[in-house]
Amino acid sequence: MHLVRPGLWLLIVAVAGLLVVAAAARWLRPPGAPAWADDYDLTAPPPEAIVPGTVVERGPPAGWSHLVIKSLPRVKPGQEGLVPAPFGLGRDSIVRQVSWMFTAFTADVVPERHGEQTRYRLRAIGLGLGANVKGRDTVLTVESAERLGASLNFIEKETLTKGYGVQQQARVVVHGPSFALLDTPVTFRCGTKNRLIRYRYALIVDPPSGRLDVLAWRLGDAEGCADLSRAVVLGPNTIDEAELIPDPSAGDIPNELTFGVDELPPHRLEVALPPEIAGLVAQTKFTPGDAHALEAALRKLLP
């Protein structure tokens, strides 16, 4: 017979107690709690990373049911003279470098059988960065580039590294079976300066059909720059030829504030956000009730 030391017994008891508490928190709801109370993940994890090597053209890439946005940034025509040119680099080379990389935002809506019915749920949200490799727009990381046939110079490696550094700040604030909120950092032109703020995307699935609608609006930072009065409804497979405005006050060396957009992504419709949900629209920490209320309110705005 094996003997267990007293200290180990205490550890086993403690772990067992934690498991019981965790199970009780999820399954033993207070009397009267709604059936959907446990549906929402409110832990704000980052979105999934799109696998390097994934080709992203103008429709859903492999492994994903939807291409939400593919962004193809470029310096806004007529603004090239404001682009910094450090270390003797030609301004033209910096302008070309800005349009070297694309960003991809995907979603995966999957069918599930429920008895005789098929219902659809939002499995995951994905983000990635990439460039054209041998004629195909391909998701890349610095570590995978050589294996995928991309020879990156120093500036391209820095561009990817910094791009992923910003993109990794994105958070899935709410994730339910048919509803999610994604907050992504974006450099936006606020007045005469570029500032790092957030776009908020609401992904709404129609469970019977699997249709995905995506709304977007602008959250601000500590100094403002939010617009909680309106949202835009994106079309499927949105291609955003994002025109970037340089900000000379951001410094002589290009950084995350050097280039900023001045409008929301291309869209098929604009809707007013009702004042009575302004608090929920801007909220960052949700209860299940908050998430359910916001989902219901946003569904009413869809055509």
| Low-confidence residues of the chain: pLDDT under 50 | 1-29
For residue 158, being part of any structural domain is answered with: yes
For residue 31, being part of any structural domain is answered with no
Q: Is residue 2 part of a domain?
A: no
Name which of 92, 129, 124, 132 is nearest 108 in CA terms: 124
In a domain, 233, yes or no: yes
Q: 24 in a domain, yes or no?
A: no
pLDDT at res. 114: 85
Give which of 210, 211, 196, 201 is closest to 174, Cα–Cα: 201
How many Å apart are CA 298 and CA 149, to the nearest integer? 44
Residue 9 lies in a domain: no
| Biggest alpha carbon–alpha carbon distance for the chain | 83
**Structure confidence at residue 186 (pLDDT):** 95
Predicted pLDDT of residue 252: 84
Q: Count structural domains, the chain.
A: 1
291 domain-assigned: yes
- Note down the domain range covering 140: 39-299
Place of tokens 């080709």: 55
pLDDT at res. 23: 40
Q: How do residues 154-187 score in pLDDT, each as one tens digit?
A: 889 998 999 999 999 999 999 999 999 999 999 9
Q: Where are the alpha helices (DSSP H) in the chain?
A: 6-27, 91-98, 154-167, 278-282, 288-299
Tell me the C-alpha to C-alpha distance, in Å, between residue 61 and each of 54, 55, 148.
7, 6, 17
Q: Which residue has the tokens 């249709």?
A: 211
Residue 123 in domain: yes
Nearest to 85 by CA among 255, 247, 253: 253
Contacts of 210 (CB under 8 A, 6+ apart): 65, 109, 111, 120
Q: What are the angstrom distances between the C-alpha of 200 and each of 123, 181, 261, 262?
A: 19, 7, 15, 15
Give the chain's radius of gyration (CA, Å).
23
Residue 32's pLDDT is 59
